[in-house]
Amino acid sequence: MKQIFAKPQSMTDKVSHYCPGCTHGIAHRLVGETIDELGIADRTIGVASVGCSVLAYEYFDVDFQQASHGRAPAVATGIKRVHPESIVFTYQGDGDLASIGTAEAIHAAMRGENITIIFINNAIYGMTGGQMAPTTLLGQQTTTTPEGRRFEEMGAPIRMAEMLATLDGAAYVARFSLHDIPNITKAKRAIKKSFQYQLEGKGFTIVELLSTCPTNWGMSPNESLEWVQTDMMKVYPLGEFKTPEEGEKK
C-alpha cells in the first residue's frame, strides 16, 4: 500500500482546540500543504491573530509571531521588510481583520506589502461567544442581534475582498469557500497561488475563505456547511477579484 494522504509535514501533531466541525482545521491544512509543496517551511513566518486562531502557532511547525488584535498585517509588514527573503503570511478571522484590524489590512494592501493574508470569514465573533461581526449577514441571529442583524441599525455586511481589490497595491485578491470538496480544492489552489505570487514578489495577496462556526451559529457541522452554500454565498460571491495578470475583475 502506498500512502496518498497524510498530515502536512509543516504541521505539528497537536490536536487543535477548535470546536468539532470548525473549518479552521481545513484552512490550516491547506496552508500546511501549500508550505510543504513549495518547500518553504524553513523560511516561512506566520503571524497569528486574536480570535479563535490566536493559537495557530501551536499547529504549524514554522516560525510564528502572535500579533495584537487586528495588527497582524502591520507586524507582518515589519517582519517582511526586515527579512525580505522570508515568506510571511497572516492568518486572521473576520472579527480581527474586518473589524478592529480593517485599517491595517487596507493600508498593507495600499502599500503593496509583499505578504499573504489568509482571511477566515465565518460571519460571527467565535472566540468571544457569538457576537455580531461586521461580516454578519442581514437577518442573522447572534448574541448581540437576537432578532437578527438589521440594516437600519447595524448596517450591512462588509465585503473585504471586493474592497481590497480596488486598491492598486493589491496583487491578488480572491474569495473561496470550504463547504465542500470541489470548493476546498479551489481554495487550496488560491492559497498556493497567493504564496507563489509572494515568492515572485508581486505584492499584497489575500485569500478570503468562507468558513463555519457550528457552535455559535447553533447548527450541526453539516448543517453549517449547507448554510454557507445557501446563505453566505449569496452575500459573498466566490472567485478571483484581482490577479497580477489581469488586474481587477469587475
Positions in the binding site for other proteins (CB under 8 A)? 1-7, 11, 15-16, 18-26, 29, 180-181, 184-185, 214, 220-222, 225
Contact call for residues 120 and 135 (beta carbons, < 8 A): no
Name the minimum Å distance from CB 212 to other proteins. Answer: 9
**Contact between residue 122 and residue 213 where contact means Cβ atoms under 8 Å apart:** yes
- Decide whether 3 or 245 has the Cβ nearer to other proteins: 3
Judged by beta carbon, residue 179 or residue 202, the one nearer other proteins is 179
**What is the greatest pairwise CA distance in the chain?**
60
Task: Compare residues 26 and 235 and give the one whose CB is closer to other proteins.
Answer: 26
Q: Which is nearer to other proteins, 49 or 211 (CB)?
A: 211
Q: How far is the CB of 27 from other proteins (least distance, A)?
A: 9
Q: How far apart are CA 21 and CA 136, in angstroms?
A: 20
Q: CB of 28: closest distance to other proteins in angstroms?
A: 8
CB of 33 vs other proteins, minimal distance in Å: 10
Cβ pair 138, 110 in contact under 8 A: no
- 72-82 helix and 102-110 helix, angle to the nearest 10 degrees: 40
Angle in degrees, CA 95, 165, 117, rounded to 5 = 45
**Closest approach of Cβ 97 to other proteins, in Å?**
20
* Nearest CA-CA partner of 225 in 175, 179, 165, 173: 179
Residue closer to other proteins by CB (options 5, 147) is 5
